[in-house]
Amino acid sequence: MTTGYPPHRTIPSIPIPSSIALQYLTAYLDLTTTNPSYLPDAKLEASGPVASAVGTSITIHNLERLQAGLRGEYLAPVLEFNEEGREEGINVASGFDDGTKETGEGNAGKDWQDLEDFQREQEEIKGGVVSESTLKSRKREHEVEEELEKSVKKPTDTKARKVEKKERNKQAKREKAELQAKKAAERRERAISISE
């Protein structure tokens, strides 16, 4: 059969273990140090492939970081600094946390206010006096939260959690079987109505 497309062969990707990937990557990176033709930014000249004069490419740098990761090393993100000691390309607006401040359990509550509390305060400011309906709705919300906390079952031991999980899985299987049975019955009815 003739098609308008050129002949091609599709090769599916096959996952390999990280140990084998590390071997291939190490072999490639070793070749890049001795043979410039393996460098992604190599230039082809009359004398043959020549390494770029600028230095290492970002691709080789990232492959070296990947190699270190495959070896199990943890590498922090690379930060570029300008002459003033500030990170390049990252502008942090004044007053916002750029991740350099220490935060902890005790500090989290000091800096941020709960959104619901803030919205309630804004309601009070807009309305001046808190209406009776607002108080009733707040009381009801509080009661609902308490009911939810009481109704949530939290088994403490492992066996109870496993039993609960098995029950949930059985229930899910039952529901799935019922749904499949309903669909099969609907298909049969449609087939009967079509044949008539």
**Residue 25 confidence (pLDDT):** 93
- Lowest mean pLDDT, pick from 33-42, 57-66, 81-90, 132-141: 81-90
116 vs 163, more confident:
163
Tell me the pLDDT of the chain averaged across its residues.
Answer: 77
Q: DSSP letter for 45, please.
A: E
What is the spatial distance between Cα 128 and Cα 124, in angstroms, rounded to a whole number?
6
8 vs 196, more confident:
8
**Residue 190 confidence (pLDDT):** 83
CA distances from 178 to 169, 185, 186 (A): 14, 11, 12
Q: How confident is the model at residue 115 (pLDDT cuts 50, 70, 90)?
A: confident
Q: DSSP letter for 81, please.
A: B
The model's pTM is 0.36
How many other β-carbons are positioned within 10 Å of the β-carbon of residue 39? 19
